[in-house]
């Protein structure tokens, strides 16, 4: 029983972190129809920013992540405004192609600047655990999980209650109509991408604390974001959170009751089964499904 509880707690915590990694990806795909293959690169870039802050200023990574968010916001805004906006009207996979090229440059750039050495941001408290009976709750992961949930809730509130958020959603639904209403689409798109990059950067700083990273880890985060975003469903801000938690739990339970090497297969199986029975993902909105043209 305690093994089950331990697995559940661990899976939820892991899932929360995955959700934070994926939420920016889901936002950008759902609202702007942009498939950002460089998303994992943004995550790792955030991790490096967090690491540098810790290295040079001794800044605790849970504070350093705000710096990472700010830096990545600027990067994301600039990229969208100056580069991605140039092809937004093209066939949808063009953005995929553009972000693929961007990802190549970002990952290799990090390789050249930071070298391929593995790093981790060390804190004195992250590996401590709270003990609840025979179950251990690691502190670092608990903090990351709480932040992930908190940030998702803040994002939902911003999207639904502020003018900026609503202009983002509006532009996502119908760009032409939004522009007719006086919304500056170029700026709004750039804002969205910037927010997504900032979220990715924050997640990266946290990943850097609870695990190890190097430039080649970017690809697996992009893949994970795909799965989590679509499993949860696009068009709904809670989608990434739901998707992340489900994947985290499935992998933790799977690891516990099946031979350890089946965990990934199980995660993908769940994804496929959910998509077959709920084609728009667990909590996704139907409208967003139809907007794919090659």
Partner 1 sequence: MRSRKLAVAVVITASSLVVAGCSSKGAATSTGAGASGTLTIGAAVSVTGKLAREGVLTKEGYQLCQEKVNTKGGVDIAGAKVKLDIQYQDDTSKPDVAAQLVDQFNDKGVKLILSSYGSANTEAQAAVIERNGQIMVDSAGADNKIFSKGYKNTFAVLSPATEYASSIVKAVAELATPKPKSVVFLSADDGFSKTVTEGGMKTATTLGLKVLDPQYFPNGTSDVSSALTKVKGEQPDVIIGSVHLVEGVAIIKQAKELGVTPAGFGESVAPPTPDFAKTLGGQAENVLGSSQWTDATKGTDKYFGSAKDYTKDIQAKFSHAPDYHNAEASAACLALVLAAEKAGSSKPDAVRAALSGLDTESFFGKIKFDATGQNTYKPMSVIQIQNGKAVTVWPTDSAEAKMIWPGTK
Partner 2 sequence: MPTLTKVPQKRIFSTLQGDQARRLRPWALGLVVLLAALGLQGQLYSGQERTVATIFMFVALAQAWNLIGGFAGYASFGQVVFFGVGGYFTAVAMSHWHFNFWTSLLLSGFVSALFAVIIGIPLLRLKGHYFAIATLGVAEGMREVVTNLTDLTGGGAGITVPTVGSNATTAYLGNDGFYQLFLGLAVLSVIISGLVARNKFGYALRAINQDEDAAAALGINTNRMKVLTFALSGFITGLVGASYAFQQVTIFPERLFDVDITVLMIIMVIIGGSGTVLGPLLGAVALQFLSEFLRQNFTNLHTFILGAIIIVAVVLLPQGAVNYVNEARRTKEFSLLANVRKYRL
276 makes contact, choosing from partner 1, partner 2, none, with CB < 5 to 8 Å by partner type, with: partner 2
Check residue 174 for interaction with partner 2 (CB under 8 A): no
C-alpha span between 199 and 209 (Å, rounded)? 16
Interface with partner 2 in residues 15-54 (CB under 8 A) = 29, 37
Check residue 90 for interaction with partner 2 (CB under 8 A): yes
Check residue 149 for interaction with partner 2 (CB under 8 A): no
Residue 291, both tokens: 């907007």
The nearer residue to partner 2, 66 or 114, going by C-beta atoms, is 114
* Alpha carbon 31 to its chain's center: 15
Interface with partner 1 in residues 137-176 (CB under 8 A) = 138, 140-141
- DSSP secondary structure string, 105-124? HHHHHHHHHH-S--B----S
Residue 210, both tokens: 């609870």
Check residue 122 for interaction with partner 1 (CB under 8 A): yes
Q: How far is the CB of 82 from partner 2 (least distance, A)?
A: 10
- 81-85 contacts at long range (C-beta below 8 A, 24 or more positions apart): 81/186, 81/187, 81/189, 81/190, 84/34, 84/189, 84/193, 85/186, 85/189, 85/190
Q: How far is the CB of 34 from partner 2 (least distance, A)?
A: 11
Interface with partner 1 in residues 8-47 (CB under 8 A) = 10, 14
The nearer residue to partner 1, 34 or 43, going by C-beta atoms, is 43
Check residue 162 for interaction with partner 2 (CB under 8 A): no
Count of residues in contact with partner 2, rule CB under 8 A = 54
Contact between 171 and 189 under an 8 Å Cβ cutoff? The reply is yes
Check residue 221 for interaction with partner 1 (CB under 8 A): no
Check residue 55 for interaction with partner 1 (CB under 8 A): no
Residues that bind partner 2 (CB under 8 A): 29, 37, 83, 85-91, 93-94, 96-98, 100-105, 107-109, 112, 185-186, 189, 223, 226-227, 230, 234, 259, 261-262, 264-265, 268-269, 271-272, 275-276, 279-281, 288-294
Residues that bind partner 1 (CB under 8 A): 3, 6-7, 10, 14, 108, 111, 115-120, 122, 127, 129, 131, 136, 138, 140-141, 210-212, 214-216, 220, 251-252, 254-256, 259-261, 263-264
């Amino acid at each position: 029983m305690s093994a089950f509880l331990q697995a559940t707690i661990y899976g939820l915590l892991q899932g929360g972190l995955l959700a934070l990694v994926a939420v920016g990806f889901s936002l950008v795909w759902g609202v702007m129809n942009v498939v950002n293959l460089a998303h994992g690169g943004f995550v790792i870039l955030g991790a490096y920013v967090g690491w540098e802050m810790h290295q040079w200023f001794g800044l605790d990574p849970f504070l350093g992540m705000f710096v990472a968010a700010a830096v990545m916001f600027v990067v994301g805004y600039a990229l969208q405004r100056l580069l991605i906006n140039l092809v937004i009207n093209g066939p949808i996979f063009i953005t995929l192609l553009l972000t693929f090229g961007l990802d190549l440059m970002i990952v290799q750039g990090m390789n050249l600047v930071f070298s391929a050495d593995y790093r981790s941001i060390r804190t004195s408290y992250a590996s401590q655990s709270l003990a609840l009976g025979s179950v251990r709750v690691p502190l670092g992961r608990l903090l990351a999980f709480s932040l992930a949930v908190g940030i998702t809730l803040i994002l939902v509130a911003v999207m639904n209650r502020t003018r900026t958020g609503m202009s983002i959603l509006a532009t996502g639904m119908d760009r032409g109509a939004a522009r007719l209403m006086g919304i500056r689409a170029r700026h709004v798109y750039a804002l969205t991408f910037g927010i997504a990059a900032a979220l990715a950067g924050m997640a990266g700083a946290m990943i850097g604390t609870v695990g190890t990273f190097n430039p080649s880890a970017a690809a697996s985060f992009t893949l994970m974001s795909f799965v989590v975003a679509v499993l949860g469903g696009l068009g709904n801000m809670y989608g990434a959170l739901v998707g992340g938690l489900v994947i985290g739990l499935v992998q933790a339970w799977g690891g516990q009751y099946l031979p350890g090497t089946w965990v990934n297969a199980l995660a993908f199986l769940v994804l496929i089964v959910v998509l077959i029975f709920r084609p728009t993902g667990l909590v996704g909105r139907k409208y967003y499904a139809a907007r794919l043209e090659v």
